[in-house]
Structure 1
C-alpha cells in the first residue's frame, strides 16, 4: 500500500520560534519596505500626525500605515478591509507593523487624507533610482492607457446618451399607451383590469424617469465638456482601441525608462486623448531624471506639431510618427509626402517635376501657414492623379522644419518604435494584471492619483529589487 504525506496533529503542542524575525528571511521583500519607509522624513513629506501630540488618544504612526499600504500594493491587496484582515493573520505584515492591526476605517482614512504626501513618496523612490544611476540611458517612452473608474457606464451621461435615453422612454410610453387603448376596447375583464393597472404603473415610472432625464440634460449642457458622472464626478467616458467600445475612467500617462523599464513619472488625467500630453510628460520626465537632454518616444496618438516644437525648444528630442490623415491619399491621389520641399528656394517639387512657389501666408486655427502652388497644373499630364481642383495647393506650417527633422530621425533609426513598444507597454500590462479586472477603488481625480502612485511605487520597487537584489538595495537605502 502507498502512503501519503501526513500533517501534524492539531492538538499536539509545538515550540514555535519566539521571535517574529525568525519567520522573515533575509531576502524577503518586506525588509525592503521596512528600510525604505524608515529612511523617509515623513514630516518633510507632509504626512499628518507624524509627530505625536501630547494630549488625546494615541494614534498610529504614519510609517506603520504607509508600510501596510506599500506591502498591500506589492502583493495585490489594495482594499482597506482586506488589509485589515491581512494585518491580523499575515506573518509578514505582523513583522512589518510590530503586530499592530488598525481597523479598515483607519487604514482607508490614511490613504484619503495623505494623498499629496503619498505621491511625494513615489517621487522619493524615483530620486533613489536616479541616485543608483538607473536612468543613465536618458531615453524614455511615453504612453497613456485607460483605467476604469468606480463609476459605472450607466451612470455616466453625455448629450448623446441623454438624448438616446429620452427617445427610448418616449417610444416605451407610446407603446404602453397603445396597449392601454387596446385594453380599454377589450372591456373590464379581471385579467384586463390587472393588465391595465400594470401598464399605468409602467407609464408613471417612465414619466418619472423622463423628468429625471430632462433634469440631467440641463446638467450636461451646463457642464464644461457636456458630460457628467454621478458616482465619480471626475471620471469621463473615453474611447478605447476596440471599435465602438469605451470605458468610463481615467487616462493614465507614464514616462518609462528604456533601459530598466522603470516608471520615471506618471500623471492621471481625465482627458480622453493623448495629443496634448507629450511636452508636459517629457518635461516631467527630464526633471525627474535630472538630465540636461533626453530623448522621448511616443506613438502616433501623441503627434501634435505644437507639442513637438515645445519639446524642441527646451532641448528634448522627440520621436513621434506622423499619422496619415490625407483625404487625397484616401481618394487614391498624391499625398503631401509626394511633394518634396526645397528649403534653398522655399518651394515644393511636385511628382511631375514642376515647382510650387510661395504665394501667400494665412492663419488657420491659430497656426501660421504658407501656401504654395504652380501655374502649370492645368496642362499637367498627372493632374487626374493629383487634384480635381484647378490647382494643387500645398500648405506648410511655419515650424514644419522641426517636423521634417523629426521624420528624418525616425527614418534613420526605425528601431525607436520597437523600443517604444517593448518599453512602455510592459508596465501597463503588469499594473492592469495586478489590479485584475476591477477598477480604481477611490473617487475623484485627486484620490485616484494617490491610488495610482501606490501602484507605480510598488511596480518600481519590484523592478529595482529584481535589478539590484534585496541586500544591495537595502544597503544603498541605509547608506
Structure 2
C-alpha cells in the first residue's frame, strides 16, 4: 500500500461525467469577468461588429475582451502567451467556451480598438460610482513613465545626429586618406570602398532624420515607436517612454481617468481637470498635484473651470547672493502695483507687459525696479546684476499666490497626495510588473495597452471591495436590461420614440443607462 497520495488513472473513464462548469468554483473571479463583459453593450462602445460574410467567421469582440481582461488581471499581456493559455488554462476554456484564437487575432483586437477600450475603462468607473466607491470630493493627479518598445539607440535628437555625422565624416576622411595611399592592392581597396559606401549610407540616413526635425518641428525621432520620446524618469536617468497622466479618486484610490502622452507634466493639469469635471459631473472637488504641475497658465485653466487645486510649490530656481534677499521676501502691494524690498525701497513698473518664452509657451511679465539700487549698501547681497535688482511678475501671479495660501491652509490634505495617486502605480508596476508598454508603434496602440491595464486595476479594486454575490446580482440585472427589457420596449413602442425606461433602479440607487 502506497504511503503517498496518488492521482487517478489518466486512461480510466470517470464513473460520473462532469461538465467544465463544475470545475470552476462559484466564487472564481473568472465568473465576474464573464458577467462584467456581458453587462456591456459593446456595439455602443465602438467595437467593430461589421464583418464580411465570406471567409472564416470572426471572433465576437466580447470573447476577445474577456480574454484580455483575464490576461491583464493575471499578469499576462503577450498575445502569444494568451494564445497558449487558451489551449491549456481551464479557466480560459470556460470563459471562452473552448475558443482558441491565434496570437495575430488577439494582438490586432487590442491594437485596433484603443477608443473602445477606453470606454470599457470608463464603464468600470461608472460601476465603481454605482457602488459609491467614488467620493468625488478629492482627487490626486500625477504621471508615471512606461518604457516604450524603442531602445535609446534608436532614438535621435539634433545633438545626437550631429555627433553621428561628425564621427562618420572623420571615418570617411580616414578612408579617403587610406585610398590615396593605397598602392595597387585591389583587395584592400575593395574593403575600404565597402566601408565608405556603408558609412555614406548611414550619413544620408542621419541627414534625412535632421531634415524631418527641421521641417516638422519634432524634437526627437524614434525609429521603432515613432510617438515615443526620451524622457527623464528619475535621478537623471532617461528612458524612451510614454508619460501616462492619471487622475485618482481619494476614497478608494480608484483611477477615474488616464491619458497617454509623450510630453512632460508642466502643461497637463488643465486638460486633466477639464476631463475630471466632465467625468464627475461637477467641479466641487479639490485636486492635488506635485510641483511638476506648477505652471501659471494651468492655474488659469483651473480657475476658469472653478476647481480648487493644491499644487506643491517648487523651490526657487535662482537665489540672491544672500538668501534673505530672495524674491519671496519682496512684498507686493496690489493697490499701487509696486514691490517693497527687504531694504524698504519701492520697486515700480512702467506698466508694460513683456513676453517671456519658455519652450513653446509664452507668458506675459511685468518688470519692477528702482534707481535706489545703485546707492544701496546692501547691493552685493541682493543681486549680481550691475544695473540693479529686477523683479518679474507673471500675469498669473495672483493665481499662484492663491495656490500658496491654499497649500498653507490645507497642508494635511496635500500630504495625502502620494498615498492616493501612487497606490495604482505601485500595484501596476511593482506587483504586476507592467513597467513598460506592450504594444508597438504609435501612441494609439500604447493607449489601448494602458486602457486595459487600468481596466484590470479598477476591476480588481471593485472585486475586492464589493460583496461578490451583490456584484453578480448587479451585473446580471444590467445585462438583463440590455438583452431583454430594452429590446422589448423598442419592439412595442417603435424606434421613433424615446425608450420609456431611462433609469434602472438597483437597491434604490439610480443607474444612468
Partners of 1:135 and 1:289 within 8 A in 2: no
Which residue in the other structure is 1:223 paired with?
216
- Partner of 2:235: helix, strand, or coil? coil
Which residue in the other structure is 1:232 paired with?
225
Using the TM superposition, give the Cα deviation of residue 173 of structure 1 relative to its aligned residue in structure 2, in angstroms: 3.3
- Partner of 1:208: helix, strand, or coil? helix
Q: Alpha-carbon deviations, 1:293-323, whole Å to 9, x = none?
A: 2211111111110111110121111111232
Q: Alpha-carbon deviations, 1:34-88, whole Å to 9, x = none?
A: 11111111122222127x8877653322211111111111112112222121111
Tell me how far apart the structure 1 counterparts of residues 164 and 368 of structure 2 sit (CA, whole Å): 49
1:319 equivalenced with 2:301 (yes/no): no
- Partner of 2:457: helix, strand, or coil? helix
Q: Alpha-carbon deviations, 1:145-185, whole Å to 9, x = none?
A: 2222222322222212211111122233344556667775x
> Out of 383, 392, 396, which is 1:395 matched to?
392
Aligned Cα root-mean-square deviation (Å)? 2.8
User: Judging changes above 3 Å, is the alpha-carbon distance between structure 1 residues 454 and 28 closer, same or farther for their aligned structure 2 residues?
Assistant: same
Using the TM superposition, give the Cα deviation of residue 33 of structure 1 relative to its aligned residue in structure 2, in angstroms: 1.0
Using the TM superposition, give the Cα deviation of residue 234 of structure 1 relative to its aligned residue in structure 2, in angstroms: 1.9
Using the TM superposition, give the Cα deviation of residue 411 of structure 1 relative to its aligned residue in structure 2, in angstroms: 1.6
Which residue in the other structure is 2:359 paired with?
none
Which residue in the other structure is 2:381 paired with?
385
> Out of 421, 426, 433, which is 2:423 matched to?
426
Which residue in the other structure is 1:290 paired with?
281
User: Judging changes above 3 Å, is the alpha-carbon distance between structure 1 residues 383 and 101 closer, same or farther for their aligned structure 2 residues?
Assistant: same
Which residue in the other structure is 1:104 paired with?
103
Partners of 1:159 and 1:221 within 8 A in 2: no
Which residue in the other structure is 1:356 paired with?
347
Which residue in the other structure is 2:296 paired with?
305
Deviates more, 1:172-181 or 1:353-362: 172-181
Gap regions ≥5 residues in structure 2: 357-361, 478-513
Gap regions ≥5 residues in structure 1: none
Partners of 2:135 and 2:250 within 8 A in 1: no
Structure 1 segment 406-425 matched on structure 2, within 5 A: 406-425=403-422
Using the TM superposition, give the Cα deviation of residue 100 of structure 1 relative to its aligned residue in structure 2, in angstroms: 1.5
Tell me how far apart the structure 2 counterparts of residues 121 and 279 of structure 1 sit (CA, whole Å): 24
Q: Alpha-carbon deviations, 1:113-164, whole Å to 9, x = none?
A: 3332222111111111222222225211111122222223222222122111
Structure 1 segment 180-191 matched on structure 2, within 5 A: 184=183
Partners of 1:130 and 1:289 within 8 A in 2: no
Equivalenced residues, count? 469
Partners of 1:151 and 1:229 within 8 A in 2: yes
Tell me how far apart the structure 2 counterparts of residues 161 and 369 of structure 1 sit (CA, whole Å): 35
Partners of 1:232 and 1:444 within 8 A in 2: yes
Q: Alpha-carbon deviations, 1:363-403, whole Å to 9, x = none?
A: 32354433333454344332221124443232222331211
Which residue in the other structure is 1:119 paired with?
118
**TM-score, normalised on structure 2?**
0.83
Tell me how far apart the structure 1 counterparts of residues 434 and 132 of structure 2 sit (CA, whole Å): 32
Which residue in the other structure is 2:441 paired with?
443
Partners of 2:283 and 2:305 within 8 A in 1: no
Structure 1 segment 151-166 matched on structure 2, within 5 A: 151-166=150-165
User: Judging changes above 3 Å, is the alpha-carbon distance between structure 1 residues 468 and 173 closer, same or farther for their aligned structure 2 residues?
Assistant: same
1:131 equivalenced with 2:130 (yes/no): yes
Tell me how far apart the structure 2 counterparts of residues 108 and 292 of structure 1 sit (CA, whole Å): 39
User: Judging changes above 3 Å, is the alpha-carbon distance between structure 1 residues 55 and 306 closer, same or farther for their aligned structure 2 residues?
Assistant: same
**TM-score, normalised on structure 1?**
0.88
Using the TM superposition, give the Cα deviation of residue 451 of structure 1 relative to its aligned residue in structure 2, in angstroms: 1.6
Partners of 2:355 and 2:365 within 8 A in 1: yes
1:85 equivalenced with 2:84 (yes/no): yes
